[in-house]
Structures are given as C-alpha cells and as structure tokens.
Amino acid sequence: MLFDNTERRKERRYVIYHTIEYIIGTETSHEKAKGLTMNISYSGLCFYTQKLLYRGQEIKIKRSPTLSYQAAKVQWIQKAHGNYYKVGLSLLN
C-alpha cells in the first residue's frame, strides 16, 4: 500500500530529476552505481536505482561532479517497475 508521508516531513521536498553517483561497500571494497533522484530536501532524497539496497544500509552519494561524497542511510526501499527500486535516504553528517 502506498501512502503520503507529507504530514511527517520536517522540510519541504523539491522535485528534481538528476543522475547521482553512489558508493556501496566498505573502505577496502566498494562498488559505484548510479541512480535518478525524484525529489530532495535539506536532510534527504528519494531516488530510483537498479541496485537492491537494504533498510539501515549506509552508502555514500555524490549529487554533483563538483561536490564530494556524502554519507547517507537507507530509510526505506520498495520495488518499483521492472528492475528498479525506489529508495528513501536520510543524509548523515
């Protein structure tokens, strides 16, 4: 069942479709992947990816080529269409 979490949000979301790069893994072994953002806020973002992530998993995202990687935590994930997953992240730091 899908529902709108708007009433629980502390910050305004902005609809932005943008390709991001992210890293899955540890300091010694990691894999780069790409995703497409759907919306962002000051403290998080929602994006689509083909990689299966897990709730509570920490990844590093790069929202722009000029910015460094930023730590983020998977808050939720749901199967979307085809081989895609919709993921909600909260930014750490």
What is the reported pLDDT for 3? 45
Domains and CATH numbers, the chain: 14-91 (2.40.10.220)
The reported pLDDT for the residue numbered 53 is 96
Using 50 as the pLDDT threshold, list the residues of the chain that sit under it: 1-3
Q: What is the pLDDT of residue 2?
A: 47
- Structure pTM? 0.82
pLDDT of residue 5: 52
| Model pLDDT, residue 63 | 80
Residue 32, both tokens: 């780069």
Q: What's the pLDDT at 36?
A: 95
Q: 3: Cβ–Cβ under 8 A, 6 or more apart, which residues? A: none
